[in-house]
Chain A
Amino acid sequence: MIRFENVDVVYPGGFPGLKKVDLNIEAGEFVVIVGLSGAGKSTLIRTINGLVPYTSGTLTVGDEVVDPSSRRQLRRLRSRVGMIFQSFNLVSRISVLSNVLVGRSSQTSSWRSLLGWYRAADKEIAFQSLERVGIVEKAYNRASALSGGQQQRVAIARVLAQDPEVILADEPVASLDPPTAHQVLQDLRRINRELGITTIVNLHHLDMARRYADRVIGMRGGEVVFDGPVEAATDAAIEGVYQRSLTAEDVAPDAPVSVDEALGAEDGPEEGPEVEGGGSAASPAERAGR
């Protein structure tokens, strides 16, 4: 589905964003990219839809080689590849429905966009997308009147309205509180399963990566340093990616999975430090044995 072959990204200032990345992501996979700030997670994701142009190598999405210099081809590519952002990037002054209809832009003629006169079929798609994330009743509210979690769901609906083959999510839950973050990730995971959309997510928190990913990719200094199924992403492996031992910060939000579960599982917060002290996936068992 998405194939990186020896892809380099060098930013205009000469700063290397990606170094010799080789990756092959299959259709329908749910991939989570982990790594410290500045490791190249965002660059990797933005290279896929051409928001960041790659400077050498070959990047293939579907059966097409991405050509960052062709605006027309990029627009066609982006119509198939939806993107979700950390700060939601909604137009706050217009309605939720209008925001979702932005996702229909590539299938709408310019004059219809200009007049704001969308086809009934496009509106139907927008409504269905809102139904899928469960906020269809907010369709005619102003986007700014919604909570953070609801706004991110509008952003997901906007992407769904594109009917994409791939969803890219750049730190989608970094500005949400942990319970809301889990709900948004659950939505993404469910959409990935139900519609078979290849999904690539950047995450800061290891526990969330482990909970939702099929496959984990670790990045450091613009290079892919770990790539394997979620079972292989042990604490030791991730410490290798981070090049330091894990801290409570990395795993803390494990506790409140949802409001209900958090109330039930009071021992959640205690688990964090334990994992940190153990330094490997087997640590809880080891501790129990001692």
Chain B
Amino acid sequence: MSVTVTAPPSAPGGPPASGGADRPEKPRPSVTGYLGLAAVVVLLILFFLATSSSTLVLDIGVGRVPLYPALGALALVAVLVLGWRTRTGTLPILGALAVIGVTWWGGSGIGFTLSPLWEDLHRAEPVLQGFLNPNWAFIWRVSDAWLVTLAMAVVATTVGCCIGLLLAMLASPVSSPNTGVSQFVKALNSVIRSIPDIGYGLLFVAMLGGTAGGAGPMAGVLALVMFNIGIIAKLTGETIDAVDRGPLEAADASGANLLQRDRVAVVPQILPGYLSYSLYVFELNIRASVVLGIVGAGGIGSIISVQLSRFAYENISAIMIALVVVVLAVDFLSLTIRRRLT
């Protein structure tokens, strides 16, 4: 009720003073709608109070309230008031309230709090000491592993992007032979994409043997290839869905077969996008191959894994810094190339 009282003074004071009297005013949202939203806010606050597991309490002078529910309630009320003042419709505000509610619920579920950052800082001291004194010489001692990582990324990008393009062409209804093939390949692509890169890494390391078995990089490349197929098939497939159909119709009308139509009318249209995605995938591969190395797929990641088990943080620090430089360099390179693809 207090909300409805605060609103009217702002309305006559605003638009008529600055502009002409006959200008249309933004329509006011329905009061009943906002009463409903207020009810939602009350329900959410009750939910916060009921599910809060924290014992932290805030003293606000007149009384003591539980800290986290109070923060949530503040955000909810702020959104409600702001929505009324800007005359926003009820639906966007309901959406915003829902986002706040769900986020609060998620945070309380994992006991999210920032306090360990300062309470447990003493534990980080040896780690930080190591990281602040990187062992620069170590970067060059493991140059072989760097090369392996780079080689893995290059091979996986080439193979993965070629297979990915083929699957994208078969998956899009625009370029595939018929809807059956399109549906099947689409489902296949979804399955390939649903397994994360680390999942493929664990799978292929288990199948081929990891660094210890001598097949680490091979397992890593296979894992990256699967990872790349998923990304490229998805992004390129969507690009194919959006191509201009005119040239396809023209190719059809000139008696071209499906393969010719795809080659002359589809490929030229998607080529810049496809090359750009491929470069992006190459960047991803450099980063992903580090993580894959940790699960036993060779490259610089396996070095990190070994140094981590030895608590040699100064060595890890040096690798991390070099990694940042390498990733930035690859980023910059691919950005430069992508800018030329129009």
Q: Mark A151-175, 1 if CB is under 8 A from B, else 0.
A: 0000100110010000000000000
A75-B255, A93-B269, A93-B271 as given contacts; A105 in contact with B250, CB under 8 Å = no
> Given the complex of chains A and B, what is the CA–CA distance between A113 and B251 in angstroms?
12
Q: Mark B238-268, 1 if CB is under 8 A from A, else 0.
A: 0000000011011111111101110111001
Tell whether, in the assembled complex, residue A79 and residue B254 are in contact, meaning their CB atoms are under 8 Å apart. yes
Tell whether, in the assembled complex, residue A114 and residue B263 are in contact, meaning their CB atoms are under 8 Å apart. yes
Tell whether, in the assembled complex, residue B247 and residue A90 are in contact, meaning their CB atoms are under 8 Å apart. yes
Which single residue of chain B is at the shortest CB-CB distance from A104?
B254
Q: Mark A58-81, 1 if CB is under 8 A from B, else 0.
A: 000000000000000001111111
Tell whether, in the assembled complex, residue B247 and residue A89 are in contact, meaning their CB atoms are under 8 Å apart. yes
Q: Which residues of A contact B272 (CB under 8 A)?
A: 93
> Given the complex of chains A and B, what is the CA–CA distance between A76 and B257 in angstroms?
10
> Given the complex of chains A and B, what is the CA–CA distance between A82 and B261 in angstroms?
15
Report which of A76, A88, A105, A116 forms a contact with B256, defined as CB distance below 8 A. Answer: A105
Which residues of A (222-249) have their CB < 8 Å from a CB of B? Answer: none
Which residues of A (86-131) have their CB < 8 Å from a CB of B? Answer: 87-91, 93-94, 98, 101-103, 105-106, 108, 110, 113-114, 116
Q: Which residues of A contact B253 (CB under 8 A)?
A: 49, 51, 78, 81-83
Tell whether, in the assembled complex, residue B254 and residue A106 are in contact, meaning their CB atoms are under 8 Å apart. yes
Q: Which residues of A contact B (CB under 8 A)?
A: 49, 51, 75-83, 85, 87-91, 93-94, 98, 101-103, 105-106, 108, 110, 113-114, 116, 155, 158-159, 162
Tell whether, in the assembled complex, residue A106 and residue B250 are in contact, meaning their CB atoms are under 8 Å apart. no
A91-B264, A93-B271 as given contacts; A110 in contact with B251, CB under 8 Å = no
Tell whether, in the assembled complex, residue A90 and residue B250 are in contact, meaning their CB atoms are under 8 Å apart. yes
Tell whether, in the assembled complex, residue B249 and residue A89 are in contact, meaning their CB atoms are under 8 Å apart. yes
Distance from B179 Cβ to chain A, minimum over Cβ atoms (Å): 14
Tell whether, in the assembled complex, residue A78 and residue B268 are in contact, meaning their CB atoms are under 8 Å apart. no
> Given the complex of chains A and B, what is the CA–CA distance between A116 and B255 in angstroms?
17
- Given A79-B255, A98-B264, A114-B259: 17 more A-B contacts, CB < 8 Å: A51-B252, A79-B254, A81-B253, A82-B253, A82-B254, A83-B250, A83-B254, A85-B246, A89-B249, A89-B250, A93-B268, A94-B268, A102-B251, A102-B256, A105-B255, A105-B257, A113-B263
Distance from B263 Cβ to chain A, minimum over Cβ atoms (Å): 5
A105-B260, A113-B263 as given contacts; A91 in contact with B254, CB under 8 Å = no
Q: Which residues of A contact B264 (CB under 8 A)?
A: 91, 98, 101-102, 105, 113
Q: Report, nearest first, the 6 A-B pairs whose CB atoms are least far apart.
A: A106-B255, A79-B255, A89-B246, A105-B256, A78-B255, A89-B250
Distance from B86 Cβ to chain A, minimum over Cβ atoms (Å): 43
Distance from A109 Cβ to chain B, minimum over Cβ atoms (Å): 9
Which single residue of chain B is at the shortest CB-CB distance from A106?
B255
Which residues of B (176-191) have their CB < 8 Å from a CB of A? Answer: none
Tell whether, in the assembled complex, residue B252 and residue A78 are in contact, meaning their CB atoms are under 8 Å apart. yes
A87-B246, A108-B260, A113-B263 as given contacts; A102 in contact with B271, CB under 8 Å = no
Tell whether, in the assembled complex, residue A85 and residue B255 are in contact, meaning their CB atoms are under 8 Å apart. no
Distance from B330 Cβ to chain A, minimum over Cβ atoms (Å): 27
Q: List 14 A-B contacts (CB under 8 A).
A: A51-B249, A51-B252, A51-B253, A83-B253, A85-B250, A88-B246, A98-B268, A102-B265, A105-B254, A105-B256, A105-B261, A106-B255, A108-B260, A162-B255
Which residues of B (254-304) have their CB < 8 Å from a CB of A? Answer: 254-257, 259-261, 263-265, 268-269, 271-272
Q: Which residues of B contact A106 (CB under 8 A)?
A: 254-256
> Given the complex of chains A and B, what is the CA–CA distance between A46 and B109 in angstroms?
62
Tell whether, in the assembled complex, residue A105 and residue B246 are in contact, meaning their CB atoms are under 8 Å apart. no
Which residues of B (202-258) have their CB < 8 Å from a CB of A? Answer: 246-247, 249-257
Q: Which residues of A contact B268 (CB under 8 A)?
A: 91, 93-94, 98
